[in-house]
A and B are shown apart, each in its own frame.
Chain A
Amino acid sequence: MTARSDSGLPARSADGPAPGHKGRHGGIGSPAPAERLEVAVGARLREFDLGAGFTVGPGQRLAVVGPSGAGKTTLLRLIAGLARPDRGRIAIGSRPVFDRGLGIDLPPEHRRCGYLPQDYALFPEMSAWRNVAYGLRVGGRTTRRARAAEILARFGAERLADVRPGGLSGGERQRIALARTLAAEPRVLLFDEPLAALDPATRNESMRQLDLALSQSGGPAVIVTHSFDEAAVLADRIAVLDRGRIAQAGSPAELSARPGSRFVADFTGAVVLDGEVAGTDGGLTVVAVDGGGMLRSVDRASGTVAVSTFPWEISLEAPGNAPRDSALNRLTGTVTSVTAIGNRARIGLAVPQPVTAEITGRSAEALEIRPGVRVTAAWKATATRLIARGPHDPYRP
């Protein structure tokens, strides 16, 4: 089957498939050239108007967070070509895939977006390897089978090659879906709530698989999630979408420390720190935090981890004082920002990794907190979560 016979490509997009399209017929396995994703679109939804603009560079990961019904999934569908914007422009690399003004609207099969829907949408009547091979357009059965097996192996799922989706667990389905998405050599990755369909027990492993998929693609990625800590672990930038608008965008630490609105403050719960498990102590896992300091957690983990807690779990005290409570975790740093939210205050610290504490306005005054002052952040081991992280990620500093 040729790629063109069934294209349905409208005549008006005379510039044909976007660059890189022909490349897939040449070298299978060669990654798509890293391109930038530019989005500036608007679409009327039932209850509000969706309007969003952002740019994601090659290898960068943007997380889109927000409450349900904020337009997150629609945004991904607009980029993938599964829904049509009313206005604006979407470009992957130098060529637009959608441009209202120029009348360009490439169908999904010519956009090469690796769209992973929430329920994975695996093909139930095909075995795992056939699912993975679906996006491969070249080669005979033997070549395709070999190529599918190779990609499945990357996700540690080669033994599942002949199993149909009906016989797979949630975590296994996710691996097959990721393998299928990457097999088509997408130029952009679009993940919709990739962990929502999984039970918490497999969450860490799945997070690792996602990380793997993201770093292997090398292209820009947009990840929709409703959980701030997932966003902080998987992405390097977060856009908060509320009723169709990007309420705020920035690094996880920036959003947490300086929430632009009450909504963002409530939403950007978790503080996330990078570290490495150093051992155990009295049943607690001890983590050496990058940049200095030791933290303890009741969670079990090994290797590289993300340590997470919530700003309201953290109390601040003057450094050097005798500990006032049972909190086991203490990190001293410099205040970088103070943001008042009602009668509370969000305090941004550099320990040197960014940490956000939320304390009452009264204790902020009592401690005379202002940028430049040194304070100690303290919280309990029971309020400290550990999230396993993928091994090496070249796109993360």
Chain B
Amino acid sequence: MSLGSWFGRVAFLALGLTLLFLTLPTVAIFTDTSPGRLLDALGEPVVLDALWLSLKTTVIAVVVIVAVGTPAAYLVARREFRGRSVTLTLIELPLVMPPAVAGIALLAAFGPHGIFGPWINDAGIELVLQTAGVVVALIFVAAPFYLRQAVAAFASLDRGRLEASRTLGAGPFRTFVRIAIPEARPGLSSGLALAWGRALGEFGATLMFAGSLQGVTQTAPLAIFSRFSDPDGFTAALAISAVLIAVAALILLSVKLFGADRALDRTGP
């Protein structure tokens, strides 16, 4: 399209506005306050606690999601069975669930008065107002992002190579580890990035299910909200936001680098 035509100029303007609108708030986080004050705010215990808790809980949640979700997604993707499409829909349900609904649902299931509450209590596990509860909430909202990508990645694998692996003497597990996972890696990586990003940003379900106790359940997004409600806390809220943005960008970048094209870079044995 020529930029000389009137429509070309309009489209160019539209792109400029889009970029401006989408990047300006991000830029504002870093420029609203001086860098020195941002760094000072990062030293506040509330901020440090929140960032450390977010890192800890999201990593645990993502590890659980990948460990359980990968074989589960493989089964759904590679097997024909009755109720397969229902299974897929159930897996994706939390994707479209409003966070507040997710929080209520988790309480109704695992809360003290929920369906499984007594059992969980008997087992000596406490979730509500505990770090473990944060992890449960994160897994609930983030898992579908990984599962969806993983199912799609495994479903697009070439059947012939999985079968070749079997006829060469490898059992189902070795075939899964040596052939399916390496070939599905780009899809698995992007699913991991999406799930991790979603977990880092989780707010509503965590607040309702686990509460917002500093150092225990107050993750970075909850701390942002809490500091923002405080008249003197705006700078701290900005500092946490800046770190979250940097971390999110880093995740996106590293996963793209690791997932997509490593197969092409590796040469030889």
Q: Which of B31-39, B47-55, B133-141, B160-168 contacts A (4 or more CB under 8 A)?
A: B160-168
Q: Which of A5, A121, A125 is the one whose CB lies under 8 Å from B263? A: A125
Q: Is B167 a contact of A108 with CB atoms below 8 Å?
A: yes
- Is B16 close to A, CB under 8 A? no
- Is B182 close to A, CB under 8 A? yes
Quote the shortest CB–CB distance from B261 to chain A (angstroms): 12
- Is B231 close to A, CB under 8 A? no
Bound-complex Cα distance A145 to B161 (A)? 21
Q: Is A82 a contact of B161 with CB atoms below 8 Å?
A: no
Bound-complex Cα distance A129 to B173 (A)? 22
Quote the shortest CB–CB distance from A187 to chain B (angstroms): 12
Which range contains the number of B residues in contact with the other chain? 20 to 34
| Residues 90-149 of A at the B interface (beta carbon under 8 Å) | 107-109, 111-115, 117, 119, 121-125, 127, 129-130, 134-135, 137, 145
Q: Which residues of chain A are near B174, meaning CB under 8 Å?
A: 1, 6
Number of residues on chain A facing chain B (CB within 8 A): 36
Quote the shortest CB–CB distance from A241 to chain B (angstroms): 21
Q: Is A121 a contact of B161 with CB atoms below 8 Å?
A: yes
Q: Given A82-B163, A125-B182 in contact, is the A135-B168 Cβ separation under 8 Å?
A: yes
Bound-complex Cα distance A181 to B158 (A)? 18
Bound-complex Cα distance A122 to B168 (A)? 11
Q: Which of A82, A119, A127 is the one whose CB lies under 8 Å from B166? A: A82
How many A-B Cβ pairs are below 8 Å? 83
Q: Is A117 a contact of B173 with CB atoms below 8 Å?
A: no
Q: Which residues of chain A are near B160, meaning CB under 8 Å?
A: 117, 119, 121
Bound-complex Cα distance A137 to B168 (A)? 10
Q: Is B173 a contact of A114 with CB atoms below 8 Å?
A: no
Bound-complex Cα distance A262 to B163 (A)? 37
Please encode chain A, from 322 to 357, with 1 for each CB lying within 8 Å of some chain B CB and 0 for all others. 000000000000000000000000000000000000
Kindly report which residue of chain B lies nearest to residue A80, judged by CB atoms.
B167
| Residues 6-59 of A at the B interface (beta carbon under 8 Å) | 6-8
Q: Given A121-B158, A162-B268 in contact, is the A108-B263 Cβ separation under 8 Å?
A: no
Kindly report which residue of chain B lies nearest to residue A137, judged by CB atoms.
B169
Q: Which residues of chain A are near B158, meaning CB under 8 Å?
A: 121
Q: Is A134 a contact of B168 with CB atoms below 8 Å?
A: yes
Bound-complex Cα distance A184 to B182 (A)? 22
Q: Which residues of chain B are near A108, meaning CB under 8 Å?
A: 163, 166-167
Quote the shortest CB–CB distance from A75 to chain B (angstroms): 15
Q: Interface residues, chain A, CB within 8 Å of chain B?
A: 1, 3, 5-8, 80-82, 107-109, 111-115, 117, 119, 121-125, 127, 129-130, 134-135, 137, 145, 162, 164, 180-181, 184
Across the A-B interface, the 9 shortest Cβ-Cβ residue pairs: A6-B171, A6-B173, A135-B168, A108-B166, A121-B160, A121-B164, A162-B268, A115-B167, A121-B161
